[in-house]
Amino acid sequence: MVTRLYTHPIYFEHLTPAGHPERPDRLRALGKVLEDDAFDRLERVLAPMGDEATILYAHPGSYLERVRRTIPQEGLTRVDSDTTVSPKSWEAALTAIGAANAAVDDVLSGRADNVFVASRPPGHHAERDRAMGFCLFNNAAIAARHAQKAYGVERVAIVDWDVHHGNGTQDIFWEDPSVLYCSTHQMPLYPGSGAKSETGAGNIVNAPLDPDTGSEHFREAFNTRILPSLDAFKPELIIISAGFDAHHRDPLAEINLHEDDFDWATGKIMERAGSFASNRLVSLLEGGYDLKGMSLSAGAHIKRLMEG
C-alpha cells in the first residue's frame, strides 16, 4: 500500500480562543505520534492551496463571500457561538480544501492507494450556506464533487465516524443519490440531527449510538448498517470523515471507543475500497479533542491505511 499524508504549517495559524477544543495543538500531538519509526514509509506531502472555484461545488457563491467577509485583519471574530476565525483562517481553509482535492487526485491517478489529510479547520458540520461546529467549508463534500467533476466518478461514499453527526454533509447531499452518506454518531448530542428516519433520497444512512455505549454497539452499527450499505452501493471512491472524538477520553461526548476500534473500522472500510474502488480511499481529519486519545487513534488509523 502507498499511503500519503497531507498537512501544512498554515493549519497552525487558524487560531481559536484560549480553551477552545479545536486548537492547533491537535495537529502538534498527531505530529509527535507520526515521528515513530512505524511511519517511516508514510509519504509526507505539503498540502497545496485549493482553488476557490471548487468551494462552489458544495456552497453557493454568496456564502463563500460571506465567509470571506468575516475574516478579521487582526484578532478573532466569531462566526457563531462555537466557530471562530482569525486572519489566517481563510488561507488555512483553502489549504484544507486543496489537500482534500489533491488526495482525490492521488488515488484516482494511481499515485497513492489511500491518503490521510491532517488539516484544520474541519468540515463536516458546514452546510450549504451555514458555518457551524468549528467548520467553515465542507471539505469532504467538495472532495466528493471534485472526484465527480474532474474524473467522472459516478458513485462516491462518505463514511463519517465522528461522534457528532455530519449535518453539513447530509444537508449538501440530501437529494443526491450519486453520493452515499453513512454516519455513526452519538445521539442525542450536537448538532441534533442524524436520526435513522433521515434518509434523503435513500442515500443517507444514519446509525445513531446511545450515550455511554462503546465498542460493541459501534461495531454492531458498522456490521448491520454501514457496511451493508457500502456493499449495496458499490462506491468507486470512499471518503472517510475521520473524527476521533468517540474515543473514551474525549471531553465532548460519551462514546467509549479505543484505538483498536478505529483500526478495526479502517480495515473494514479498506476491504470495501478493495472490492469496489481499486483501493481508492481518502481520509480527512474531523474532530477529536483529547490530544492523547485523538493522536493515538489517528495513528492507529493511519498505520492500518499503510498496512492494508
Dihedral sign for Cα atoms in the order 60, 66, 72, 77? negative
The 8-class DSSP code of residue 296 comes to: H
DSSP bridge pairs for 205: 182
**What distance in Å separates the CA atoms of residue 153 and residue 143, rounded to the nearest whole number?**
11
Cell of 150: 474532474
How much of the chain is in helix, strand and coil states, percent to nearest 5? 40, 20, 40
**Of 8, 14, 59, 125, which residue is the catalytic one?**
125
Angle at 136 between CA 48 and CA 306, to 5 degrees: 50
User: Is 146 annotated in the active site?
Assistant: no
Question: Cis peptide leading into 188, omega within 30 of 0?
Answer: yes
**What distance in Å separates the CA atoms of residue 191 and residue 12, rounded to the nearest whole number?**
26
Q: Say which residues have a Cβ less than 8 Å from residue 55's Cβ, sequence separation at least 6.
A: 64, 97, 137, 142
The answer to whether 117 and 285 are in contact (CB under 8 A) is yes
**What distance in Å separates the CA atoms of residue 41 and residue 146, rounded to the nearest whole number?**
28
Over its C-alpha atoms, the chain yields an Rg (Å, rounded) of: 17
In the sheet that 3-7 helps form, which strands lie side by side, from edge to edge? 43-46, 3-7, 114-117, 281-285, 237-242, 156-160, 179-186, 204-209
**What distance in Å separates the CA atoms of residue 279 and residue 273, rounded to the nearest whole number?**
5
To the nearest 10 degrees (0 to 180), the angle between helices 259-276 and 291-307 is 30
The catalytic site residues sit at: 125
